[in-house]
Amino acid sequence: MILASKSPRRKEILENAGFKLEIIVSDDDEKSDKIDIRSKILEIAKNKVQSIALKYPNRYVLGADTVVILDEMIIGKPYDEPDAIKTLEKLSGRKHTVLTGFSFINVSKNIDVSDYEMTQVFFRYIDDRIIKWYVSTGEPMDKAGSYGIQGKGSILIDRIDGDFFNVMGFPIAKFIKKLEKIGIKIDDIDKL
């Protein structure tokens, strides 16, 4: 299967589930004119996949996009350390939503599946000292919302309501259910 993503966490989640991956990242712009956040993220995920799927019509291609939503605003990856600090200050002591949209296409088999998962994340109150320490580790710099639940960022989280792996970068259980719905069995995932 081709993974149209350079996210090391997404790759790790999928490989741990048994997928054999080839990484081919699209040069397509990660933009959408959609107003609804779910529609926007689904369109971005699909755009990542479509151009690659057309180049490799006999291959299965998967792409995804993950964002953090706070007060109906999308929070992506930080631009720099001050931006990461600002984001973490906003998230401190509050609930936010992690949304991952994914798209799975095989042109020759006429497979085109898209879906999303939403998880509520509750941050504990974090003071400036902890925020500055965490940002200084470099961990938040390539992550939506400026934190990684699976790493040092775990200390920032009070609890979650939903899928842990979605917060990490890919809702693997929902994806497997979608594959089963279109007739792809778990025994076959290493052959995709």
pLDDT reading at 29 higher than 80: no
Domain count, the chain: 1
Q: Assess whether 190 carries a catalytic annotation.
A: no
Name residue 114's amino acid.
S
The pLDDT of residue 54: 94
Over residues 51-61, mean pLDDT: 95
Buried b (16+ CB within 10 A) or exposed e, 94-122: eebbbbbbbbbbbbeeebebbbbbbbebe
d(CA 4, CA 21): 10
Name residue 149's amino acid.
I
Over residues 21-27, mean pLDDT: 90
Q: How confident is the model at residue 165 (pLDDT cuts 50, 70, 90)?
A: very high
pLDDT reading at 111 higher than 80: yes
d(CA 33, CA 42): 12
Catalytic hit among 28, 29, 33, 65: 65
Q: Give the count of beta carbons closer than 10 Å to the beta carbon of residue 64.
A: 30
pTM above 0.85, yes or no: yes
Any idea what the CATH number is for the domain that residue 47 is in? Answer: 3.90.950.10
Q: How confident is the model at residue 164 (pLDDT cuts 50, 70, 90)?
A: very high
CA atoms within 13 A on the CB side of 79: 3
Parallel, antiparallel or unpaired: strands 2-3 and 61-70: parallel
Domain containing 63 equals: 2-191
Torsion angle of alpha carbons 176, 177, 178, 180, nearest 10°? 90
